[in-house]
Homo-oligomer: A and B are copies of this chain.
Amino acid sequence: MSNPSTSSEGGRRIQAVETTCELLDALRERDGAGVSELTRETGYSKATVHAHLATLLENEFVVKRGNRYEISLKFVDFGEFAKNSVAIHDIAKQEVDKLAEQTGEVAQFMVEEHGRGVYLHKARGKNAIRTASYTGERKDLHCTALGKAILAQFPRERVEEIIDEHGMAAHTENTITTREELFDNLETIRQENVAYDDEEALSGLRCVAAPIVYKNGDIQGAISISGPTSRFKDERFRDELAEVVRGAANVIEVNSTQV
């Protein structure tokens, strides 16, 4: 039923829109930029860049501060809207907050989009370490517990597509970088209903995640607890925390406004 195909489909494109998207991405990448800077960066002529920015400015997707153009706060509105469009967002947020409170660690909530994982909420308990992830960050799925919990619910063919598009870049020496290893891991995850990240994204960081799945098999996302390896020893890591996360995921599944 759902058709979230990852591969780029055929059909016609609007080049001017393509250009504008590139400019927006460039503005996001850098901390805003001037016309000349963008000209050098993107290869478009100054006149072209200028006209695009003028249009984006008029439509308030961009702000002009002196001679610099920056991503506008309109994106905050749109982003908030998109976040709330995620059916389970509110309940997931609640449960993540509870998880952080209960465990004292970092709890997070992720959803898949365009073949990557998007962090939608993060709560920090009393002993929580500072993780680099931030709300809205988009990260490859193969290298986090959250991502693997999501991938485990996808049909193999879909996972292949995603890897074809985004690869399996290594972040630490523990990162899974071969398909064989990944599919083995995903099978285990399906059996245990929990995904582990043992310093695969960042050394010193461990993570337990549970998928949030509807009865019809549609994957909705995943939640996790993260912390330092020193506090995530085997007993607590594999049993206690795993159970807590699974429980929270279950609460979300039950309470979510289902279709």
Which A residues contact B (CB, under 8 angstroms)? 1-4, 8-9, 11-14, 16-18, 20-22, 24-25, 28, 31-32, 47, 50-52, 54-56, 58-61, 63-67, 70-83, 85-86, 111, 113-114, 118, 120, 134-138
Contacts and interface: CB of A to CB of B under 8 A. Distances in A.
B138 A58 contact: no
B76 A120 contact: yes
B79 A3 contact: no
Q: Which of A52, A82, A138 has the most CB of B within 10 A?
A: A82
A55 B18 contact: yes
A60 B21 CA distance: 9
B80 A14 contact: no
A11 B46 CA distance: 13
Q: Which of A8, A66, A72, A79 has the most CB of B within 10 A?
A: A79
Contacts of A3: 64-67
Nearest to A74: B138
A167 to B, nearest CB: 17
Contacts of A83: 73, 76
Contacts of A80: 76, 79, 134-136
Contacts of A31: 85
B59 A18 contact: yes
B137 A77 contact: yes
Contact of A82 (B13, B73, B118): B73
A153 to B, nearest CB: 17
Contact of A78 (B13, B18, B75, B81): B75
Given A4-B64, A64-B4, A17 B75 contact: no
A228 to B, nearest CB: 24
Given A13-B51, A52-B14, A72 B114 contact: yes
